[in-house]
Amino acid sequence: EETVLANNLEAADELARQLRLRDIGGIIVVDFVDMELAANRAQVTKRFRDALARDKTRTQVLDISGLGLMEMTRKRSGEGLLESLSDICGDCSGRGYRLLADLMD
């Protein structure tokens, strides 16, 4: 249980970092390694909320369930992944997208 807790605490810190770095938004479900003790689940939830406190983006985090799942929402602040990695397709009159040319090099 101690190793699982340590891994989940580290994962909580890294998750908060990656959410900010990649500007991930929407409904997010995190599957932590199962923890037997409710106190450990609460500790991981607190650590994650503390790590998100530095994030200026609006977030809502629910407690970790008995199955080890944490649900959260995060408002994306910039453009979406589709818009940042693609252009509107000129071949189909703008009904589709194509990968940016500089990403294919």
Domain ranges, ordered by start, for the chain: 2-74, 77-105
Looking at per-residue confidence, does 77 or 41 come out higher? 41
Q: Are 70 and 32 in contact (CB under 8 A)?
A: yes
Pick the CATH number of 2-74 from 1.20.950, 3.40.1580, 1.10.3470, 3.30.1370: 3.30.1370
* Segment 11-46, tens digit of pLDDT: 999 999 999 888 888 999 999 999 999 999 999 999
CA–CA separation, 29 and 32 (whole Å): 10
pLDDT value of residue 10: 97
Structure tokens at 42: 């609460």
pLDDT value of residue 96: 74
pLDDT value of residue 31: 96
Tell the burial category of 19 from Cβ atoms under 10 Å away from its Cβ (0-12, 13-18, 19+). buried
Rounded (10°) CA dihedral 83, 23, 35, 9: 150
Q: Is the pTM of this model over 0.75?
A: no
- Segment 2-8 mean pLDDT: 96
